[in-house]
Amino acid sequence: MSQEDKVLSFLQEGNSITSLDAFRFWGITRISAHIHSLKNQGFDIVREDIRVKNREGKKATVGRWHLRNTNVNDYVTQIEMAV
């Protein structure tokens, strides 16, 4: 299964994903390229900006992608999946 297939399958299961999630789950370092490709194939993927703290404890904004019009699973559950 390709990296792009893994991302699509994950999103179709109702999950959202950040670049850090993609790296932790599958070692993908350029998820934005896969998201771009999937959007070009007609998948309606939206980006939501979320606030997080960086390793220095400062506020930062990162993107989290999900398929439009899907019930997105609880984000905490996704983090637990990576453990």
Q: Contact at 8 Å (CB) between 62 and 52?
A: yes
In whole angstroms, give the CA distance from residue 8 to residue 2: 10
pLDDT of 77 over the 80 cut: no
Per cent of the chain over pLDDT 70 is 88
In whole angstroms, give the CA distance from residue 52 to residue 62: 7
Residue 80 CA neighbour count, 13 Å, CB half:
5
Length of the chain: 83
Q: What is the pTM of this model?
A: 0.81
**φ, ψ dihedrals at 66, nearest 5°:** -155, 165
Q: What digits encode the pLDDT tens for the residues 18-46?
A: 999 999 999 999 999 999 999 999 999 99
